[in-house]
């Protein structure tokens, strides 16, 4: 059991999202940085799609009331127990009575905390993800608050054998961790002011040639009015060759839509299912973790790639996670 001493800025329970219900207008939700959530789960022996905490910019303060194997991934904050840094992207054994706090960092936006067995919350439409506006899923359909108590589940897929050794190591101090972590080469190319890879959106050709050049040549600032639904960008205005009345149709994570004010919006985890604005581009799935780690005030650019490349890179990212699983198994067998 974990007690929430401070909630942090926006701490929610998420998994990989709620699929199969978009035709009812139910949004997908799920982790903004799905790669980081998957890796956090894999590191503690869970299935990739297990409920974990998504923490935003200012992290929470959590009291562990029992021993627990955890993993912190993502960016934007540094976990601390007793003034010692809890390293990221590796399993960490935390002893009962420890308080995990987070210090803000200058880069990154979202960190993930997975616990062995996941968090025990009711599944709503096959998902544990919090859907804030409809007040369903996650912890009572809302962000965590001071005083909340999180129960751990028993959804372990393959228990980490190293856990035993770590628990012995942790007798000497509040927490213990192995001397390895996930290789940087396996991670998406996380950076503060990234160039995001895009494929053309459905209305790419309907924008003026100048606007298309601007999109692919200039930088756009992420506005402070950005959230889990979408990142609003400001910069040079993007214009259609002629105003067209579009018929609303499905949108998805990464859709770059341009309302009539000319400022693009990148739709993200909590996007609506249907949209009516022209779609100039589409951030590729493999780069969604990168945009999820960009904070307001930072700048993004766009670079055109092909659909074929985009799908290849997404498969590579997935294979990296499979490789990680295989190497964890190897470590366990030694």
Interaction of residue 5 with another protein, rule CB under 8 A: no
Q: Of the two residues 25 and 97, which places its CB atom closer to another protein in the complex?
A: 25
Q: Of the two residues 133 and 145, which places its CB atom closer to another protein in the complex?
A: 133
**Closest to 115 (Cα-Cα) out of 69, 79, 81, 154:** 69
Residues 117-136 that bind another protein (CB under 8 A): 124-125, 133-136
User: Which of 43, 310, 324, 328 is the binder for another protein (CB under 8 A)?
Assistant: 310
Interaction of residue 25 with another protein, rule CB under 8 A: yes
Q: Of the two residues 141 and 301, which places its CB atom closer to another protein in the complex?
A: 141
Shortest distance, CB of residue 322 to another protein, whole angstroms?
10
Shortest distance, CB of residue 273 to another protein, whole angstroms?
5
User: Which of 176, 253, 291, 294 is the binder for another protein (CB under 8 A)?
Assistant: 253
Q: Going by C-beta distance under 8 Å and a sequence separation of 6 or more, which residues neighbour residue 200?
A: 280, 281, 282, 304
Residues 269-308 that bind another protein (CB under 8 A): 272-274, 279, 282-285, 307-308
Shortest distance, CB of residue 283 to another protein, whole angstroms?
8
Site size for another protein (CB under 8 A): 41
**Closest to 219 (Cα-Cα) out of 255, 192, 193:** 193
Whole-number CA gyration radius for the chain: 20
Shortest distance, CB of residue 73 to another protein, whole angstroms?
21
Interaction of residue 82 with another protein, rule CB under 8 A: no
Tokens representing 307 are 């659909």
The 10 Å Cβ neighbour count of residue 58 is: 16
Interaction of residue 202 with another protein, rule CB under 8 A: yes
Interaction of residue 180 with another protein, rule CB under 8 A: no
Q: What is the largest CA-CA distance in the chain?
A: 69
User: Which of 248, 260, 323, 329 is the binder for another protein (CB under 8 A)?
Assistant: 248
Dihedral angle, C-alpha 71, 47, 37, 280, nearest 10 °: 170
Interaction of residue 23 with another protein, rule CB under 8 A: yes
User: Which of 19, 151, 224, 323 is the binder for another protein (CB under 8 A)?
Assistant: 19
Interaction of residue 24 with another protein, rule CB under 8 A: yes
Q: Under a CB-based contact definition with an 8 Å cutoff, are residues 267 and 253 in contact? A: yes
User: Which of 20, 97, 164, 217 is the binder for another protein (CB under 8 A)?
Assistant: 20
Give the Cα separation of 2 and 270 in Å (integer). 27
**Closest to 277 (Cα-Cα) out of 298, 316, 251, 300:** 251
Distances in Å between the Cα of 223 and the Cα atoms of 19, 141, 193, 231, 277 are 29, 27, 13, 7, 19
Distances in Å between the Cα of 142 and the Cα atoms of 20, 108, 265, 316 are 22, 23, 25, 34
Q: Of the two residues 78 and 130, which places its CB atom closer to another protein in the complex?
A: 130
Site residues (vs another protein, CB under 8 A): 19-27, 124-125, 133-136, 199, 202, 247-255, 272-274, 279, 282-285, 307-308, 310-311, 314-315, 318
């Amino acid at each position: 059991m974990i007690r929430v001493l401070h909630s942090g800025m926006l701490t929610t329970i998420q998994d990989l999202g709620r699929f199969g219900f978009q035709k009812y207008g139910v949004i997908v939700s799920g982790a903004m940085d799905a790669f980081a959530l998957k890796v956090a789960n894999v590191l503690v022996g869970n299935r990739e799609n297990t409920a974990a905490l998504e923490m935003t910019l200012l992290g929470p303060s959590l009291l562990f009331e029992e021993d627990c194997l955890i993993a912190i991934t993502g960016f934007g904050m540094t976990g601390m127990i007793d003034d010692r840094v809890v390293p990221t992207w590796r399993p960490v054994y935390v002893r009962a009575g420890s308080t995990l706090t987070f210090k803000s960092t200058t880069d990154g936006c979202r960190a993930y905390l997975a616990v062995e067995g996941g968090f025990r919350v009711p599944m709503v439409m096959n998902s544990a993800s919090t859907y804030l506006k409809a007040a369903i899923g996650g912890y009572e359909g809302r962000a965590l608050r001071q005083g909340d108590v999180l129960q751990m589940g028993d959804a372990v897929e393959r228990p980490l054998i190293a856990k035993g050794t770590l628990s012995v190591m942790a007798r000497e101090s509040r927490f213990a961790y192995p001397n390895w972590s996930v290789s940087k080469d396996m991670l998406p190319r996380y950076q503060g002011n990234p160039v995001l890879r895009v494929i053309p959106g459905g209305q790419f050709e309907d924008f003026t040639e100048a606007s298309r050049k601007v999109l692919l040549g200039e930088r756009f600032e992420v506005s402070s009015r950005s959230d889990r639904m979408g990142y609003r960008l400001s910069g040079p205005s993007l214009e259609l060759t002629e105003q067209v009345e579009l018929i609303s149709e499905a949108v998805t994570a990464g859709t770059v839509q341009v309302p009539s004010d000319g400022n693009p919006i990148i739709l993200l985890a909590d996007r609506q299912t249907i949209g009516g604005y022209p779609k100039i581009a589409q951030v590729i799935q493999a780069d969604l973790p990168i945009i999820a780690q960009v904070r307001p005030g930072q700048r993004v650019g766009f670079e055109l790639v092909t659909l074929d490349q985009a799908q290849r890179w997404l498969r590579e990212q997935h294979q990296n996670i499979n490789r990680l699983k295989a190497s964890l198994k190897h470590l366990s067998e030694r």
